[in-house]
């Protein structure tokens, strides 16, 4: 099987981000309403402007100023009204235990999926030459993408866990997919730690900082794994063992 270069994964990730932003903007009712309101106000402003020029009546100038003010205030009011409504709706779903998990499914499929493959591709490019400065960069970037995965996993814990990861449900994430990603995270992390120990580079400033950061994130990962093992999603995951660094 041909390995995909980490730059290809990065390009794919950027493409998905652009497509996601474009889709979100084009499908956003708030965005469409704000545009519509501004267009209507702009038409009225133009109309009253022409009338004021023709009739030389100052009262139309006042109306124009009012419309210009509304063109700023109304979109802000619409945005915050919809925001507060969505927040209330989300809070109500949390209380009832019926949250919308689509956001987390998209995060798993796109962000976590791309992060783990970026980390894997970067790790595969680490050479056996411990004097190669490029290795320090690759270790740093690999750790960065692994830690991004862990940060996203932490958000999926608690009450969300059993709603996101469900067996035999095509609208959710199959638990075995979660297990595969966590196992790959542990494999990559152990490979990085083994390389650092083998070449005795743990005392360099950059690497020592990376080690400390990774340990903090690994604790969070193990806490998440504990939640998995205590849940009813149907998988058992071994905790990440901390290497002697």
Q: What is the pLDDT of residues 45-74, one digit of tens each?
A: 666 666 665 566 666 667 767 767 777 777
Q: What H or E segment, with its residue span, contains residue 205?
A: helix 205-230
Q: Percent of the chain having pLDDT more than 90?
A: 36
Lowest mean pLDDT among 27-41, 162-176, 182-196: 27-41
Residue 60's CB is within 10 A of a number of other CB atoms, namely 18
Q: What is the pTM of this model?
A: 0.67
CA distances from 41 to 30, 31, 34, 81, 165 (A): 16, 16, 11, 19, 47
3-state class of 173 per DSSP? strand
* Sequence ranges of the domains in the chain: 26-95, 99-230
Q: How confident is the model at residue 1 (pLDDT cuts 50, 70, 90)?
A: very low
Rounded-to-integer distance, Cα 160 and Cα 144, Å: 25
**Better-scored residue on pLDDT, 2 or 127:** 127
Q: How confident is the model at residue 205 (pLDDT cuts 50, 70, 90)?
A: confident
Q: Is the pLDDT of residue 173 over 80?
A: yes
Rounded-to-integer distance, Cα 155 and Cα 159, Å: 10
Crossing angle between the packed helical segments 175-198 and 133-155, to the nearest 10 degrees: 150
């Amino acid at each position: 099987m041909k390995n995909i270069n980490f730059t290809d994964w990065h390009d794919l990730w950027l493409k998905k981000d652009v497509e996601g932003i474009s889709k979100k903007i084009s499908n956003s009712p708030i965005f469409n309403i704000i545009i519509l309101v501004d267009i209507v106000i702009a038409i009225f402003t133009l109309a009253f402007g022409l009338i004021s020029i023709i009739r030389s009546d100052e009262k139309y100038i006042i109306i124009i100023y009012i419309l210009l003010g509304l063109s700023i205030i109304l979109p802000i009011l619409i945005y915050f009204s919809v925001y507060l409504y969505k927040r209330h709706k989300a809070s109500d779903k949390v209380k009832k235990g019926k949250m919308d998990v689509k956001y987390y499914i998209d995060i798993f499929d796109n962000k976590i999926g791309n992060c783990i493959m970026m980390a894997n591709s970067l790790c595969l490019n680490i050479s056996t030459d411990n004097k190669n400065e490029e290795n320090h960069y690759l270790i740093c970037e690999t750790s960065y993408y692994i830690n991004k995965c862990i940060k996203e996993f932490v958000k999926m814990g608690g009450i969300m866990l059993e709603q996101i990861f469900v067996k035999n449900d095509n609208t959710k994430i199959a638990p075995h997919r979660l297990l595969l990603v966590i196992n790959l995270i542990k494999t990559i992390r152990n490979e990085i730690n083994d390389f650092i120990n083998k070449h005795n580079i743990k005392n360099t400033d950059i690497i020592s900082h990376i080690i400390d950061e990774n340990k903090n994130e690994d604790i969070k990962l193990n806490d998440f794994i504990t939640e998995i093992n205590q849940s009813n999603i149907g998988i058992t995951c071994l905790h990440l063992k901390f290497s002697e660094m």
